[in-house]
């Protein structure tokens, strides 16, 4: 009996110490019948609550897990869906409240998509400029938003190494839009 209790205690301890994705997150990451994930929409009340939430940071242990690889792969397929194509996507848009974004690098040859973990903008540089924006989660609306021309970005790469980079132009605009998603902010909030 005593040994059994110790076993239970050890199992409980193990479960509470696991630094991975939660059961609910895993259900979404591995859920659905297709590779493309469902993109949350502000037109849906429940989705809207998620889109307006603040996302939690990713932890080092998570990036080596299959959940992380699967999530990145499926987010990429989702943002490249020809029926609803985007230039960036944030994890909360597929229902995962973690600080992860994929951005299409228009400032690099071939315009590849890259993933950024726990991204934060540590410096903004002007001038600001108006540009038209839309969002996969905000159907049928596009409007002008004022954004900074240049940003200094701090983030973790896919090996969880800390990186810093200065980004300019349209790619910098995408970063500002996607990082806003991690704090529940949408581009429509800036429209006057």
In the complex, least distance from residue 67 CB atom to Zn ion, rounded to whole angstroms: 23
Nearer to Zn ion, 40 or 135 (CB): 135
- 109 sits in which H/E element: none
Question: Per CB under 5 A, which of residues 113..152 are in contact with Zn ion?
Answer: 135
Cβ proximity of 81 and 36 under 8 Å: yes
Q: Quick one: 59 or 185, whose CB is closer to Zn ion?
A: 185
Least distance (Å) between residue 38 CB and Zn ion: 15
CB of 147 to Zn ion, least distance (A): 13
Nearest CA among 113, 86, 89 for reference residue 100 = 89
Return the SS3 of 26.
Answer: helix
By CB under 5 A, tell whether 51 contacts Zn ion.
Answer: no
Q: What are phi and psi for residue 43, nearest 5 degrees?
A: -70, -15
Nearer to Zn ion, 22 or 53 (CB): 53
**CB 191, CB 143: distance < 8 Å:** yes
Is 178 annotated as catalytic?
yes
Does residue 91 interact with Zn ion by CB under 5 A?
A: no
Nearer to Zn ion, 41 or 70 (CB): 41
CB of 71 to Zn ion, least distance (A): 17
Q: What is the number of alpha carbons within 13 Å of residue 146 lying toward its C-beta?
A: 8
What 3-state DSSP class applies to 123? strand
**Under the rule (CB under 5 A), what is the footprint of Zn ion?**
135
């Amino acid at each position: 009996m005593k040994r059994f209790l110790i076993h239970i205690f050890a199992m409980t301890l193990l479960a509470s110490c696991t630094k991975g994705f939660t059961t609910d997150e895993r259900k979404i990451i591995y859920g659905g019948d297709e590779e493309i994930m469902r993109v949350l929409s502000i037109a849906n009340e429940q989705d809207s609550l998620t889109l307006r939430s603040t996302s939690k940071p990713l932890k080092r242990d998570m990036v080596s897990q299959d959940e992380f690889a699967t999530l990145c792969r499926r987010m990429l397929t989702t943002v490249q869906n020809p029926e609803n194509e985007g230039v960036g996507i944030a994890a909360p848009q597929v229902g995962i409240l973690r600080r992860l974004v994929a951005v299409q690098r228009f400032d690099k040859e071939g315009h590849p998509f890259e993933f950024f973990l726990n991204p934060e903008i540590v410096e903004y540089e002007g001038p600001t400029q108006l540009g038209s924006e839309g969002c996969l989660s905000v159907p049928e609306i596009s409007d002008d938003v004022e954004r900074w021309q240049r940003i200094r970005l701090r983030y973790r790469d896919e090996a969880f190494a800390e990186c810093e980079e200065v980004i300019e132009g349209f790619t910098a605009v995408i970063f500002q839009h996607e990082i806003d998603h991690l704090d529940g902010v949408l581009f429509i909030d800036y429209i006057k």
